[in-house]
């Protein structure tokens, strides 16, 4: 058994104290070593265990007691997808990030894992010898661990408020066991000061719906599009989800099934029409350009924007040249601030922005950036966004 423990204990440590404990589960000794070194170099996380199979993870989970698990899909004895529900059954608040190479089969498995309770997924590079691929994998993995782990601790802090000072107890004979009270932990999230301000919705009728999302986005998108049939039938819907190639192909298929409307990866040069969903393909930025009196898709292989490719900002900003202020944009759950600058441009042109609220977001980075920038006309739970969008396209301006 290939196991390396760090500070194992049968007791549950405070979720608000100390670095995030990460369990790395992968049958490749090279990948385990690489990820472990990256985690060990971060001040706010540590390697709780390095394991070779899903079976080892299931058998050791209670002893290791990690906050986050990076779980490979293809492993001997017990693969990642089979281990996932068993791990969550033993530790329901465990944050699990699925890791897999970019194949269609693994993309399908990753989507299945999300439906079974995985928090997110990350594609592994085909070869760690490619510096650029390894750098992207490194950056994305550390950010996912940090942001998803921080969300876990915020939830734990809400669920376990500080204890009130106790009243003096009556005198008793003999020793008294006193519960240990952990010292206050440093804040992992700085909430906005006071209520967030919103602006009025545009008085211009929207003619296109633009959506941007990242971490937690696939589940949010599949839920949202089930409610958008009336909008999709009459207006084009364009979506940028931070996602690699192959994964976007699978996501488009899922969106088509969820919406019962045509949905596919956008193709360079194709006309933008009502009645379908256009998804930015992984590894390409999707923009919109004028094509005579109509609009067309423009894909490019330029550098990453906001560390992302595809990125939301290029789509949002480019749409202004086509639809001017007749734009409604929605920013869903995701890390970082992608979409905020493009959202500012849309508002300046006369359009509107809706952001998903913090409570319903997996990570309140992208929508939080837009909300804190004061560009949103509404900040709504995911289950209220669809109805609001339908009303706005039907003529509501409030």
What is the chain's pLDDT, residue by residue, as a tens digit (398 residues)?
334 434 333 334 445 568 999 999 999 999 999 999 999 999 999 999 999 999 999 999 999 999 999 999 999 999 999 999 999 999 999 999 999 888 899 999 999 999 999 999 999 887 666 666 788 889 999 999 999 998 777 766 665 555 444 444 344 333 333 333 333 333 333 344 457 899 999 999 999 999 999 999 999 999 999 999 999 999 999 999 999 999 999 999 999 999 999 999 999 999 999 999 999 999 999 999 998 889 999 999 999 898 899 999 999 999 999 999 999 999 999 999 999 999 999 999 999 999 999 999 999 999 999 999 999 999 999 999 999 999 999 999 88
What is the pTM for the complete model shown? Answer: 0.84
| Structure tokens given for 117 | 């309770």
Q: Is 242 a catalytic residue?
A: yes
In angstroms, rounded to a whole number, what is the distance separating the alpha carbons of residues 38 and 18? 18
- From the list 110, 214, 318, 352, the catalytic residue is 214
Torsion angle of the four alpha carbons 285, 249, 68, 44, in this order, in degrees rounded to the nearest 10: -10
72 is catalytic: no
> Spelled out in words, what is the top-level CATH class assigned to the domain 20-158?
alpha beta
Strands 285-291, 294-300: parallel, antiparallel or unpaired by DSSP? Answer: antiparallel
Q: At what angle do helices 80-90 and 104-115 cross, to 10 degrees?
A: 20
Residue in 26, 67, 120, 338 annotated catalytic: 338
Q: Kindly report each contact of residues 227-232 with a partner whose C-beta sits within 8 Å and lies 24 or more positions away, as own/partner.
A: 227/386, 227/387, 227/389, 227/390, 228/259, 228/386, 228/389, 228/390, 229/259, 229/260, 229/261, 230/390, 230/393, 230/394, 231/389, 231/390, 231/393, 232/259, 232/261, 232/274, 232/275, 232/276, 232/277
**Which residue out of 26, 147, 202, 242 is catalytically annotated?**
242
Where exactly does CATH 3.40.50.2300 map onto the chain?
Answer: 20-158
| Residue limits of CATH 3.40.50.180 in the chain | 208-393
Q: Answer whether CATH 3.30.70.270 is correct for domain 208-393.
A: no
Contact 87, 61 (CB under 8 A): yes
């Amino acid at each position: 058994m290939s196991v390396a423990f760090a500070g194992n204990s049968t007791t549950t440590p405070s979720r608000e104290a100390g670095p995030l404990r990460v369990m790395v589960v992968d049958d490749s000794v090279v990948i385990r070593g690489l990820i472990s070194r990256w985690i060990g170099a971060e001040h706010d996380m540590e390697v709780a265990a390095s394991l070779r199979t899903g079976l080892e993870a299931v058998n050791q989970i209670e002893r290791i007691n990690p906050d986050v698990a990076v779980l490979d899909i293809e492993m001997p004895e017990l693969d990642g997808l089979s281990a996932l529900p068993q791990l969550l059954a033993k530790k329901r608040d465990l944050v699990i990030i699925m890791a897999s190479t970019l194949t269609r089969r693994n993309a399908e498995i990753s989507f299945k894992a999300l439906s079974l309770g995985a928090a997110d997924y990350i594609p592994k590079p085909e070869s760690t010898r490619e510096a650029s691929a390894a750098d992207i994998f490194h950056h994305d993995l550390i950010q996912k661990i940090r942001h998803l782990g921080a969300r876990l601790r915020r939830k734990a802090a809400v669920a376990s408020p500080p204890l009130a000072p106790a009243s003096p107890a009556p005198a008793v004979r003999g020793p008294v066991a006193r519960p240990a009270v952990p010292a206050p932990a440093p804040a992992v999230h700085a909430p906005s000061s006071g209520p967030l301000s919103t602006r009025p919705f545009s008085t211009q009728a929207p003619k296109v719906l633009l959506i941007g999302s990242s971490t937690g986005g696939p589940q949010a998108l599949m839920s949202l599009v089930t409610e958008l049939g009336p909008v999709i039938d009459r207006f084009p819907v364009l979506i940028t989800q931070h996602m690699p190639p192959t994964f976007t192909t699978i996501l488009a298929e899922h969106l088509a099934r969820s919406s019962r409307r045509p949905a596919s990866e956008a193709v360079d040069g194709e006309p933008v029409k009502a009645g379908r969903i256009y998804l930015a393909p992984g590894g390409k930025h999707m923009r919109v350009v004028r094509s005579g009196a109509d609009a067309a898709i423009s894909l490019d292989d330029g550098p990453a924007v906001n560390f992302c490719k595809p990125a939301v900002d290029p789509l949002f900003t480019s749409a202004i040249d086509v639809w001017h202020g007749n734009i409604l944009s929605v920013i869903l759950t995701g890390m970082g601030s992608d979409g905020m600058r493009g959202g500012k441009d849309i508002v300046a042109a006369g359009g509107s922005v809706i952001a998903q609220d913090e409570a319903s977001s997996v990570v309140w980075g992208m929508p939080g950036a837009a909300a804190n920038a004061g560009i949103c006309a509404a900040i709504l739970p995911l289950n209220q966004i669809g109805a609001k969008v339908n009303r706005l396209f039907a003529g509501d301006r409030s």
